[in-house]
Amino acid sequence: MELDLPVFDKLAIIGCGLIGSSVARGARASGAVRTIAIHDASPAARETIARLGLADQVTDTAADAVQDADLVIFATPVRAIGEAARACAGAMKAGAVISDVGSVKAAVSEALLAACPPGVHVVPGHPIAGTEQSGPEAGFAELFHRRWIILTPQDRQDDAYLEAVQRLADFWSALGAQVERMDEKHHDLVLAVTSHLPHLIAYNIVGTAADMEEVTRAEVMKYSAGGFRDFTRIAASDPTMWRDIFLTNKDAVLEILGRFTEDLQALSRAIRWGEGDKLHDLFSRTREIRRGVIEAGQESAEPDFGRKRGA
Amino acid sequence: MELDLPVFDKLAIIGCGLIGSSVARGARASGAVRTIAIHDASPAARETIARLGLADQVTDTAADAVQDADLVIFATPVRAIGEAARACAGAMKAGAVISDVGSVKAAVSEALLAACPPGVHVVPGHPIAGTEQSGPEAGFAELFHRRWIILTPQDRQDDAYLEAVQRLADFWSALGAQVERMDEKHHDLVLAVTSHLPHLIAYNIVGTAADMEEVTRAEVMKYSAGGFRDFTRIAASDPTMWRDIFLTNKDAVLEILGRFTEDLQALSRAIRWGEGDKLHDLFSRTREIRRGVIEAGQESAEPDFGRKRGA
């Protein structure tokens, strides 16, 4: 696909952990932007970011990074986005595209629209990509290759806004991602199912196992090849990021969690009463779903979580 | 470690799916036995096994395979073991070691002891290894390399029995596994935590997601990079094998499932009431547990589930 590069002149990244630093590296490697400014609230992180040479400018304030930026991407934990946007709203250029990478969209969209000045184009986004690592050293340029980026544009039909959405889409295409557009509430429900609930379950099961008195922590770890290990990997994800996700996507998460628990109780009942056919039916059905995942082309030789650099 | 090979003269494998065929391949490759006989209840499977050249003898009855065997390994789904053992008990040689590879031990031990004649040595076993594949073509010789094999010997102290246990341990060492001995009830509780509950949860979450009306199956698959994909892989495991596991390890599974559900309700409450600190605490704690898994040396660059041939 032919893209007109660079897509944006100056990119500002606010918050530079795994995702923010991967955006920086990806933008650099692809030539999607001409210049990059990064701000992170942590002085130690700013030092690391500078040392790693991730940006042309590493700024002490968000406003300094955002000055003259054509694209601003907020990559802080989702509950910090509102405050981060308020802190630099005054420096935002007219016509700038304001976006993010948060795993929850309705709450973030609301926070950005409340904080940003008129005259900018707020186009929230969420790249479906990540590893269980954290911090600016963990990022890599290829993180978004062949991954979906979901944009949840506002319901605006004016040419300037539509063009802004397209430019943001082009930016993400340059980073190797596949762009999808979606209603923000629908996004939050889909992600509650495919990501938030799985993480909650993984966190829970690791906690439950750790509390067993008769089974030692060492035994759990030793024999964790039996399925448990995959859960520990998911449950090692960044605690702050995930706390924020559950608190901001509360309604969708509680809805799907309610259904999950009902279904689990039905399974528990089938086990207690020895209803083998019911169990076999469910397990056969889920095997077919797995085959569907492979056919949808979302499966490679490696599981997605724990994607490694250079992959 | 110096082993005296072959450890056994004739090995009989009853039931030849993923695990049984891996035992056959591993025994062949390592020289742990001199000759191998395989029986499987399915004529189609027997044909495949013969075509693949997995055994010196592929027999139409279990009794024919077991005749003169020094080591008999039952590798059928766990609820089929009792009947399989009864079918060939009459052909078992005095002094033969009778074992299995089932994921549940107390129920299997009871079934084997009830079915087998006096004069043989029943030493149940469980290799903590597998993939989500099924069938005799799916097995590979290296499946057990650096994996734990848990033996749950009876409480017998006579020399002949202790020697039988040691020989079985040597057999598994020859296949590359690390041998552990454990009480059978304790095994069932440990495995309920590290394997059975994780699988049940994975099955459940895939089923719950499939039932969402507002989120299409296609969307779930498309965006399944976000954690869900790992669950679909686990939930693609053999339905028959897993039905049997849940039905035969009922007590331990229901116990741990009860705890899991209580903990999940507590999490649900914390989300509903916005208790961010509670969430953050749990997520930080589970991250530490993950680090413990890595330190225990159970982590390689690849997650265990979905282990590939030649790995």
B303 interaction partners in chain A (CB closer than 8 Å): 229-230, 233, 303, 306
Contacts of A74 (CB under 8 A, 6+ apart): A14, A15, A81, A84, A85, A98, A99, A100, A101, A102, A112
pLDDT, tens only, A244-270: 999 999 999 999 999 999 999 999 999
pLDDT, tens only, B101-113: 999 999 999 999 9
CATH number of the domain located at residue range(s) A186-306 in this protein: 1.10.3660.10
- Tell me the pLDDT band of B218, cut-offs 50, 70 and 90: confident
- Mean of pLDDT values over A201-226: 84
Q: Are A124 and A103 in contact (CB under 8 A)?
A: no
pLDDT for res A224: 77
pLDDT, tens only, B68-84: 999 999 999 999 999 99
Q: Are A246 and A256 in contact (CB under 8 A)?
A: no
DSSP code at position B193: I
Residue A296 and residue B221: Cβ atoms within 8 Å? yes
**Low-confidence winner among A112-126, A224-238, B237-251 (lowest mean pLDDT):** A224-238
Residue B195 and residue A231: Cβ atoms within 8 Å? no
B235 interaction partners in chain A (CB closer than 8 Å): 283, 286-287, 289-290
Residue B239 and residue A199: Cβ atoms within 8 Å? no
B276 interaction partners in chain A (CB closer than 8 Å): 243-244, 247
What pTM was computed for the model? 0.82
pLDDT for res B1: 59
One-letter amino acid of A59? T
A39/B233: higher pLDDT: A39
- Tell me the pLDDT band of A293, cut-offs 50, 70 and 90: low
Residue B283 and residue A190: Cβ atoms within 8 Å? no
pLDDT for res B278: 94
A244 interaction partners in chain B (CB closer than 8 Å): 276
Residue A296 and residue B200: Cβ atoms within 8 Å? no
pLDDT, tens only, A198-211: 899 989 998 898 88
Q: Which of B264, B284, B285 to mutate to test binding with chain A, by most A CBs within 10 Å of its CB?
A: B264
- Mean of pLDDT values over A121-131: 94
- Tell me the pLDDT band of B291, cut-offs 50, 70 and 90: confident
Q: Which residue in chain B has the smallest CA separation from A268?
A: B254
- Tell me the pLDDT band of A298, cut-offs 50, 70 and 90: low
pLDDT for res B300: 43
Q: Taking 60 as the threshold, does the pLDDT of residue A311 lie above it?
A: no
Q: Fold identical between B8-183 and B186-306?
A: no
DSSP state string for B98-110: EEE--S--HHHHH
Residue A298 and residue B208: Cβ atoms within 8 Å? no
Report the residue from A224, A230, A271 with minimal CB separation from B234.
A230
Residue B259 and residue A208: Cβ atoms within 8 Å? yes
Report the residue from B204, B272, B306 with minimal CB separation from A260.
B204
Per-domain residue ranges for chain A? Answer: 8-183, 186-306
3-state secondary structure of B207: helix
Report the residue from B242, B263, B268 with minimal CB separation from A207.
B263
Q: Taking 90 as the threshold, does the pLDDT of residue A223 lie above it?
A: no
Q: Taking 80 as the threshold, does the pLDDT of residue A1 lie above it?
A: no
Residue B293 and residue A208: Cβ atoms within 8 Å? no
Give the closest-approach CA distance of B52 to chain A in angstroms. Answer: 25
pLDDT for res B162: 98
Question: What value, to the nearest 5°, has the Cα angle with vertex A84 and ends A30 and A54?
Answer: 30
- CATH ID of A8-183, from 3.10.450.350, 3.40.630.30, 3.40.50.720, 3.90.220.20: 3.40.50.720
ipTM summary value: 0.84
Q: Taking 90 as the threshold, does the pLDDT of residue A132 lie above it?
A: no
pLDDT for res B231: 81
Q: Which residue in chain B has the smallest CA separation from A246?
A: B271
Question: What value, to the nearest 5°, has the Cα angle with vertex A140 and ends A137 and A144?
Answer: 140
pLDDT, tens only, A63-109: 999 999 999 999 999 999 999 999 999 999 999 999 999 999 999 99
pLDDT for res A156: 95
Report the residue from A204, A271, A301 with minimal CB separation from B254.
A271
pLDDT for res A303: 39
One-letter amino acid of B288? E
